Structure 1
């Protein structure tokens, strides 16, 4: 069992394969997929992980790469903020969303494609596209899915 599965204890998760070796996972009634420990585990060994959530007040994506949480993207505002108040715009993974206009400055004003998206879903689709090369569509959420309640390793 891998480290990510050890952290995902008792959470309902559905997943499906996507092109290019990516996995699309949907989690229910929990925010564990946005937990820093989970993201670090999912992004270990040079992988990239993107976790997004929406509640009435927050529309956010969190980006991790190679075991490190790199930053938080406000999908409604189109701006980028790092886990400690700043983001390394020189990091190649962060360069992808900033290149399409997600703002990493103190101004918090998106430009380009990021300014022209429908919020917040358009921001998420754009962020996923520039980080993974996948353009999410409604068809990606149609069956079949595999999943269930996760459990910690014995």
Structure 2
């Protein structure tokens, strides 16, 4: 089985990864992107620096998407100055409408959070740094929390399973438990469809 990618290796200290069980074009459209062009992962950092900024000085978020096996779409954001689009509750609600699933993970140097939505409802989230969780829970959500090693009761202790991997792999492990999608390094290679988010 391929090893989980360490998100620190591909995104550095910050970034947002969104997984949605829906087609690429539809996902990018819901997230407010107009298709730009194919781009290789190695070009991303340089391209982001060269992109025109929106008028009035506000940054224009860049989102990169690609299809994955099983009907999933992976979207990556590398510039969070305008906030992470994939981490917004209303975005996840729209992405998960009509019985599908959406999960998003965002990182800053001192914080990592995972959000999970199903059938148009954001169930809740995990803070991967502190072990805290929040939201409206179902039996399935509790099962996911337990599988990750989160305490199921107030004041409970985190499992060693949660804290043992490095930070970057803990993030991808959380997404795998929520979605059953195992993100590998190879998934970040090859062409992406990238675009500026419409103001």
- Fold match by TM threshold 0.5: yes
**In the alignment, is residue 81 of structure 1 matched against residue 128 of structure 2?**
no
Provide the C-alpha distance between the structure 1 equivalents of 2:183 and 2:30, rounded to a whole number of angstroms: 28
More helix by share: 2
Q: 2: CA distance between counterparts of 1:50 and 1:99?
A: 16
Please report the TM-score for the alignment, with normalisation by the length of structure 2: 0.63
Post-superposition shift, 1:4? 7.5
The higher-RCO structure (CA 8 Å, 6+ apart) is 2
In the alignment, structure 1 residue 137 sits paired with structure 2 residue 187: no
Unpaired runs of 5+ residues, structure 2, are 1-24, 34-59
**1:52 touches 1:60 (CA, 8 Å); kept in 2?**
yes
Question: Paired residue for 1:96, among 138, 144, 147?
Answer: 144
Q: Which residue is 1:26 aligned to?
A: 76
Normalising by structure 1, we get a TM-score of 0.79
Alpha carbons of structure 1 residues 93 and 23: separation in structure 2 relative to 1, 3 Å: farther
Aligned to 2:102: 49
SS in 2 for 1:69: strand
Aligned length: 146
Structure ID, larger Rg: 2
